[in-house]
Structure 1
Amino acid sequence: MRWTLPNTLTALRLLAAPGLAVMFLYFSRPLADWFALLLFVSAAITDWFDGYIARAWSLESKLGAMLDPIADKAMVVIALMVIVGYSSMSPWLVLPATFILFREVFVSGLREYLGDVAGTLRVTKLAKWKTTFQMIAIAVLFAQGVFEHYLAVTVIELDPRQVSAILSGDSADVHGLLWKEQGMTWAGHIGLTLLWIAATLTLITGWDYFTKALPHLQEER
């Protein structure tokens, strides 16, 4: 095994994955949301850099090829678990998250079963786009959590009638209620849209991997 710079970045990304959940155990919101957002974005950036450096400097290795998809899956799975766990369990969020988690488990099981011939399930360009949409969607949904918390803190300090007057435009928004509400709403809509796109690509690539694996699943006669 070679511990090159790309491999080190990938290993750090893998170690950062459980840190997303730890943030919400040891920090109160919105600090937990901020830390999770910064940690996830930093990890997503290293995902691009380690691949670029490995190709540009000819530092590709078997260790990196093994760790990279594991780190990506760990980041996505744990991040979705945290987001769903701290959400209102809306089906618009739970369903795409379920599709993504199911596909990751299914494809990982296929690769494990195929063993030496798992190379037939090479990562496609569509699968890379799937990962990109997943990363962006999750980052935006973490940002929604930041807006949501600041909005909740502001609303608690105000009279309900005052909140209604501000949101309807009948009262001056000296507390920044509108931009927090709009930030939460837009981040939610954009994040869910991107997550559904990612889920669609997830199902398409999962089916593609399954059809490629079918010849190796035939019973011998």
Structure 2
Amino acid sequence: MSSLPNLLTLSRILAVPGLVALMWGPNPWEWLAAFGLYTLAAITDYFDGYLARSWGTVSKIGQFLDPIADKIMVAAVILMLVDAQILHGWSVIAGLIILLREMFVSGLREYLAGVQVSVPVSQLAKWKTTAQLVALGALILVGAVPILPWLPAEIIGLVTLWIAAILTLITGYDYLRVGLKHM
């Protein structure tokens, strides 16, 4: 648990309450700080896995915690964006697609682990994660728009959110096809 990759993963989980608290605030500076914290947390998502593989310290606890950390952060941010009405109307559907896929894939992975089948993360799923991280980061910046009026954060965020939702559906279907072979 005390390896740097595991500590990075754990830091992502521990950052979520601070992220939520900052996104609850009405002050644009709080949203800008939330964006900074979110960006740091998102960067750890890349480095925890990279360091674990390159240092040969991949662990069961890291493999367990990493997807949980991702899902906790993504779910918390989507919920706070809906609460702040930054994510509204049809855009909520894109957020819902992402949340439902994450729950579905988690359940499927749990089932497949029980029958000793491992499903590796595809390159497309990594692109989906990248699109999600960019979209949610841009949408967090929408709360800071009074400070950054020149930044088209909402357009960037919504377009990449829908791209992420489409990739989410495709990768969810890919996982389902693999899962059905073992059921």
Letter matched to residue 116 of structure 1 = G
> What SS does the aligned partner of 2:71 have?
helix
Letter matched to residue 135 of structure 2 = A
What CA distance in whole angstroms lies between the structure 2 residues aligned with 1:136 and 1:69?
A: 17
Per-residue CA deviation, residues 1-52 of structure 1 (Å, 9 max, x unaligned), is x420110111111111232212244x44113212211111000111111122
> What SS does the aligned partner of 1:120 have?
coil
Shift of residue 88 of structure 1? 5.4
Identity %: 47
What CA distance in whole angstroms lies between the structure 1 residues aligned with 2:100 and 2:49?
A: 26
Counterpart in the other structure of 1:8: 7
Counterpart in the other structure of 1:20: 19
What CA distance in whole angstroms lies between the structure 2 residues aligned with 1:144 and 1:118?
A: 43
What CA distance in whole angstroms lies between the structure 1 residues aligned with 2:36 and 2:116?
A: 34
Provide the aligned C-alpha RMSD in A: 1.8
Which of residues 72, 75, 78 in structure 2 aligns to 1:77?
A: 75
What CA distance in whole angstroms lies between the structure 2 residues aligned with 1:212 and 1:88?
A: 36
What CA distance in whole angstroms lies between the structure 2 residues aligned with 1:132 and 1:88?
A: 20
Shift of residue 106 of structure 1? 1.0
Which structure: larger Rg? 1
CA contact (8 A) 1:100 1:202 kept: yes
Ranges in structure 1 where 5+ consecutive residues have no aligned partner: 152-178
Letter matched to residue 71 of structure 2 = K
- Paired positions, count: 183
Measured at CA, do residues 187 and 82 of structure 1 come closer, stay the same or move farther in structure 2, by a change above 3 Å?
same
Letter matched to residue 36 of structure 2 = L
Which of residues 182, 197, 212 in structure 1 aligns to 2:163?
A: 197
Measured at CA, do residues 58 and 114 of structure 1 come closer, stay the same or move farther in structure 2, by a change above 3 Å?
closer
Ranges in structure 2 where 5+ consecutive residues have no aligned partner: none
Letter matched to residue 75 of structure 1 = M
What CA distance in whole angstroms lies between the structure 2 residues aligned with 1:78 and 1:123?
A: 22
Which of residues 26, 29, 32 in structure 1 aligns to 2:30?
A: 32
Q: TM-score, normalized by length of structure 2?
A: 0.91
